Chain A
């Protein structure tokens, strides 16, 4: 498992198809996002960051990591806000600058 799509949240906007490995696509009938091959994911999170409604979640391959923890990015114009939740539900937040705005 690499990318989990919440079909209730997915609006079918197609932003996630930015995947550098050409792995994200929209289902022709349902217009919902899906990943063509879970195991080919690089875990770069480009699709997760691009999704405007937070419908995608990165799941590390189970051979490497326990089930349950999550890492969710929220992208703003000049910063990104990360919310990390460990397997026991403890949360940690990080706000990091992404763009130096010029006057």
Chain B
């Protein structure tokens, strides 16, 4: 039990001593800075300390590492594990098939090689994994094993603390510190103490996760955060990279998850764990009929979201996962499975008197998320997980090019990034100084919304700006409202409106530190949206139906588009430059077959 009090620092107007004038500075020196203490970041910290126990490793976390990131409520399965008979190569083939023939095979291969040993490592820390009669991990699907993962996050957080890493909880990162294009740490502010943090680091690993809240969510108003991806993953790691001129890849491969309606819970539990099939309003198993030639119920993930989306659009909705075959015993097991991960659905059934053994569970596609864990939006990295900026490494959902990594893949990436960062630190002779001018200008940028509140008392509330961003993206950049469809003309309207929103950022106001975080959340989301829309405009084909449905280019075009769309901000002009990088096939075979 810990006792961290949240003494809200509230700004009062007209006081003699203004908060802005009294912002204290905290300078911290570390060898390795890890931004984000979630799934990837915790494993990175452990690995770095194991590789070199003399290094000072610091985790900068905007919440508390015991329950931060995507795993706050837990997980009921590990969705990447090489079950008996599978190899790293067979995994690459499957991931390539699932991502419609385009992935960074080097990244996926290097992750696959260390999945099983990493899962065993976390098991030793105390993670309960289901076993069969022979003592083997209980298989849930081709790449999945069942766990009791309610405490998965506290378990890995404990390992990170035990490793000797210093943990800065409640510290929001705002930008990298750079000197001549080399990343030398980060700046941020304390959510509890209101201090301006300057972290000097010899190497930096970004592990902040992806971005939700870019598009209008399925649920709005009082339920707007009842969503699948963590609403507190706000794309800050992407935004910091974009502002520093790091190269990004594949933002246009958005993730639209097939989820239970209202509660937005994962459906893999139902399909893989409990044998539920998709049916439409007429009771037809449409994936098996209309998508038979693409794999039926085993079709690539984007098509399994595209299928029900089209059923609804064409008047055959609502769609369901059919659970009516479940016995009362299996139904109880299903509830226990969800209690380990999304307890809200169990409460929802009880509150609404829904019995899934008697009625099927309605499903829907979610609003688009930007992330590199299921899809491949993120930093363009080398096989060593080095970003294009020297001194910076990326892992987990914020790292691009390697979809289908899920929790175990994020762990491995954390480990790989840590190994490279440790080597980089050991070889580095650099002395890290403080550039007073840059630090002052970042401090001014960070605390501007509080300054405006103190001076003017009113302005733009960060939530108003978030709503406006989500409306624009939903209507013009392929949100739920348009069945995820988009065309160039609409995307150009989105771009124009995003510029309009960005020009209003100077009017954001915050009356306390929580609101200051919300201001930076929305600033970062707008930064991500601007890059995203440029990526969506650039790829003139439809590679991932639903994730990226270009109605003006409705077909896949391998001849012209079997390549990555990348971008980076030109720091001299401020323009986002978009270009392509080639695809390289490493594992032989038909790219559109799962084996």
**A interface vs B, CB < 8 Å?**
1, 13-15, 17-22, 24-26, 28, 36, 38-46, 50, 52, 58, 60-71, 73, 80, 82, 84-88, 92, 94, 96-102
Contacts and interface: CB of A to CB of B under 8 A. Distances in A.
B124 to A, nearest CB: 7
A71 B347 contact: yes
B250 interface: no
B7 interface: yes
B7 A28 contact: yes
A56 B1 CA distance: 16
Contact of B353 (A38, A82, A86): A86
Interface string B503-534: 00000000000100100000000000000000
Contact of A60 (B62, B123, B351): B351
- Closest 4 CB pairs between A and B? A69-B351, A61-B223, A65-B351, A86-B350
Given A40-B225, A64-B348, 8 more contacts: A13-B3, A19-B67, A22-B6, A22-B514, A39-B223, A39-B224, A46-B67, A69-B350
Contact of B347 (A1, A22, A39, A60): A60
User: Helix, strand, loop or mixed for chain B's interface?
Assistant: loop
A100 B126 contact: yes
19 contacts: A13-B1, A13-B3, A17-B4, A17-B6, A21-B63, A22-B62, A24-B6, A36-B514, A42-B226, A42-B230, A42-B232, A43-B226, A60-B344, A64-B262, A66-B352, A71-B350, A73-B343, A87-B353, A100-B126
A26 B336 contact: no
Interface residues of B, number: 58
Contacts of A21: 63, 225, 231-232
Given A45-B73, A65-B352, A101-B126, A40 B1 contact: no
B148 A65 contact: no
B211 interface: no
Contacts of A42: 72, 225-227, 230-232
B522 to A, nearest CB: 13
B73 A96 contact: no
Contacts of B439: none
B225 A25 contact: no
Interface of B: 1-8, 62-64, 66-69, 72-73, 123-124, 126-129, 148, 150-151, 155, 170, 191, 219, 221-227, 230-232, 262-263, 332, 335-336, 339-340, 343-344, 346-348, 350-353, 514, 517
Nearest to A31: B5
B371 to A, nearest CB: 16
Contacts of B335: 84, 92, 94
Nearest to B149: A98
A98 B63 contact: no
A61 B219 contact: yes
A32 to B, nearest CB: 12
B344 A43 contact: yes
B350 A84 contact: yes
Contact of A20 (B6, B230, B263, B348): B230
Contacts of B224: 39-40
Contacts of A45: 73, 343-344
Contacts of B263: 64
A96 B336 contact: yes
Contacts of B339: 80, 82, 94, 96
Given A60-B351, A96-B148, A96-B339, A20 B223 contact: no
B351 A68 contact: yes
A4 B129 CA distance: 34
Contacts of B124: 102
B222 A61 contact: yes
A22 B223 contact: no
Contacts of B1: 13, 15, 52
Nearest to B72: A44
A66 B351 contact: yes
B68 A20 contact: yes
A15 to B, nearest CB: 6
A48 to B, nearest CB: 9
A66 B219 CA distance: 16
B346 A18 contact: no
B40 to A, nearest CB: 16
Given A82-B339, A85-B350, A20 B344 contact: no
Nearest to B170: A22
A95 to B, nearest CB: 9
A103 to B, nearest CB: 12
B62 to A, nearest CB: 8
A69 B347 contact: yes
With a 10 A CB-CB cut-off, give which of A17, A80, A97 has the most chain B CB atoms: A17
A40 B224 CA distance: 7
A46 B348 CA distance: 18
Nearest to A68: B351
B350 A63 contact: no
Contacts of A87: 350-353
B351 A94 contact: no
Given A26-B6, A58-B344, A97-B148, A64 B223 contact: yes
Contacts of B72: 20, 42, 44, 46
